[in-house]
Structure 1
């Protein structure tokens, strides 16, 4: 398996922990690449130092979606680890990703409302919220526009 691990706000939150994790992954005969949305044009001493110590490559996507970039260079990542997962998928997958995130948040909000209603003695079935068609159409249009731009 090939692991793609983000650096900023992931690895750099606990360097020694990630050194151990990456060492364990590599010792199990798997691969690790650090994949960052950063550009390699600026100061990257922190990421380069860590990568050299961990003996793993750094892939700079220069602001591109990570999966789009790695596919373009022929690198297949099996497992992604990132604090901002919205930077991973290809643009054409974004409507489903955003919709899934929205539905997840709605379920969580509904669950909180249900708990509050239960505490208040209002026993009712969990709420169900329908997403308006115009919201989905607008989101799909926006994602098509974003997907049409070459970064």
Structure 2
């Protein structure tokens, strides 16, 4: 099983909880990957794994809809955990056009 876990508004709201969550998943051979709409800047690449305290892969979509972007990269997930579920399917640019702040 593979889980896509959002960063901003999800992990950032309760880092210790998500750190424990990742540990628990690993004990059950469940893969967790952070999928964020952030761009792949070095500061973000360092910050995200540091907060989780684990070597968790991170996918940066640079504002693109997460699920289609991941699929293009050959990444598929069984479960998506995101405080803004529409970001899984809709780009941040398209959300802003409709007055929704991602």
Range into which the TM-score falls when normalised by the shorter chain: 0.7 to 0.9
Question: How much is the aligned-residue C-alpha RMSD, in angstroms?
Answer: 1.8
Post-superposition offset of 1:42: 6.1
Question: Residue 47 of structure 2 aligns with which residue?
Answer: 46
Q: How many pairs does the alignment contain?
A: 91
TM-score between the two structures when normalised by the length of structure 1: 0.56
Considering Cα pairs closer than 8 Å and 6+ residues apart, tell me whether 1 or 2 has the greater RCO: 2
Q: Which runs of 4+ in 1 moved over 3 A?
A: none
Question: Residue 21 of structure 2 aligns with which residue?
Answer: 21
More strand by share: 2
Structure 2 gaps of 5+ residues are: 92-102
More helix by share: 1
How far apart in 2 are the matches of 1:59 and 1:24? 21
TM-score between the two structures when normalised by the length of structure 2: 0.80
Listed as ranges, the matches of 1:1-150 within 5 Å are: 1-41=1-41, 43-44=43-44, 45-51=46-52, 53-89=53-89
| Higher-Rg member (1/2) | 1
Structure 1 gaps of 5+ residues are: 92-151
**In 1, are the aligned partners of 2:49 and 2:56 still within 8 Å (CA)?**
no
How far apart in 1 are the matches of 2:17 and 2:65? 26
